[in-house]
């Protein structure tokens, strides 16, 4: 039995284009017509490869978080909890205003509220954000064990906090805030982590 005609487009390259459309217009705001045009393919190719619109989103999210996790590994490699927060938030200030991408964060712009039939999309995004929060929490647990964070500090709360700030920065970026404004937010935000750190 034959293996059939090979696909003529690069799935990962097409995903990058789809990712950008979802990023800019959100899940519901992105149309199949816009997606197929950006991906350079026709609807049947899209559906054969990704199942449906939601499947395409999940594939794009997988790709997004994969790239993001590589970056996060570098973030949590910072020597102290304070430096982790600073590296993360300062990096986010730059990444979310990078003109190479749509402003903000796909995990937020993708859709915080959706209509009937797409209710699980916001949860899908939330689950990906939770991964980053877990990574931060683990890092802060270590920082507490190392005596970097105070014994009274709450690593989970700190991780939630840093995650919340980055989400807020993402929304600000998508509505026009420039890198400098976001860096100011990051600078202030880091001081809360500093307050939970042992003096040195």
Sites of contact with a copy of itself (CB under 8 A): 23-26, 28-31, 34, 104, 108-116, 118, 122-123, 125-126, 129, 154, 156-158, 160-161, 163-169, 171-172, 174-177, 181, 184-185, 187-196
Which of 13, 37, 43, 69 touches DNA by CB under 7 A?
Answer: 43
| 197 SS3 class | strand
Least distance in angstroms from the C-beta of 138 to a copy of itself: 17
194 binds, among a copy of itself, DNA, none (CB under 5 to 8 A by kind): a copy of itself
**Residue 136 exposure: Cα atoms within 13 Å on the Cβ side:** 28
Its sign, for the CA torsion 159, 165, 169, 172, is positive
Which of 12, 19, 38, 45 touches DNA by CB under 7 A?
Answer: 45
Q: Would you count residue 53 as binding DNA (CB under 7 A)?
A: yes
Tokens found for residue 108: 């937020």
7 binds, among DNA, a copy of itself, none (CB under 5 to 8 A by kind): DNA
Q: Which residues of 29-50 are buried (b: 16+ CB within 10 A; e: fewer)?
A: ebeeebbbebbebeeebbeebb
Distance between CA atoms of 76 and 134, rounded to whole angstroms?
A: 11
Tokens found for residue 127: 């689950």
Which of 18, 21, 37, 41 touches DNA by CB under 7 A?
Answer: 41
Span interacting with DNA, options 41-49, 98-106, 157-165, 171-179, rule CB under 7 A: 41-49
Least distance in angstroms from the C-beta of 109 to DNA: 16
CA distances from 25 to 109, 116, 151 (A): 7, 18, 44
Contact positions toward DNA, by CB under 7 A? 1-9, 30-33, 41-49, 52-54, 115-116
């Amino acid at each position: 039995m034959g293996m059939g005609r090979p696909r003529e487009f690069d799935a990962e390259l097409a995903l990058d284009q789809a990712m950008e459309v979802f990023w800019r217009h959100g899940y519901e705001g992105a149309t199949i017509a816009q997606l197929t045009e950006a991906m350079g393919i026709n609807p049947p190719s899209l559906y054969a490869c990704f199942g449906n619109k939601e499947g395409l989103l999940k594939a794009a999210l997988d790709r997004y978080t994969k790239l993001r996790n590589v970056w996060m590994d570098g973030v949590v490699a910072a020597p102290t909890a304070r430096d982790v927060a600073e590296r993360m938030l300062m990096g986010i200030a730059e990444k979310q205003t990078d003109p190479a991408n749509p402003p903000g964060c796909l995990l937020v712009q993708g859709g915080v509220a959706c209509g009937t039939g797409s209710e699980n999309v916001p949860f899908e995004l939330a689950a990906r954000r939770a991964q980053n929060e877990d990574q931060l929490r683990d890092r802060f647990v270590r920082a507490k064990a190392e005596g970097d964070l105070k014994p009274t500090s709450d690593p989970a709360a700190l991780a939630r906090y840093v995650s919340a700030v980055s989400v807020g920065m993402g929304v600000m970026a998508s509505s026009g805030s420039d890198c400098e404004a976001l860096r100011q937010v990051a600078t202030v935000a880091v001081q809360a982590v500093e307050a939970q750190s042992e003096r040195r």
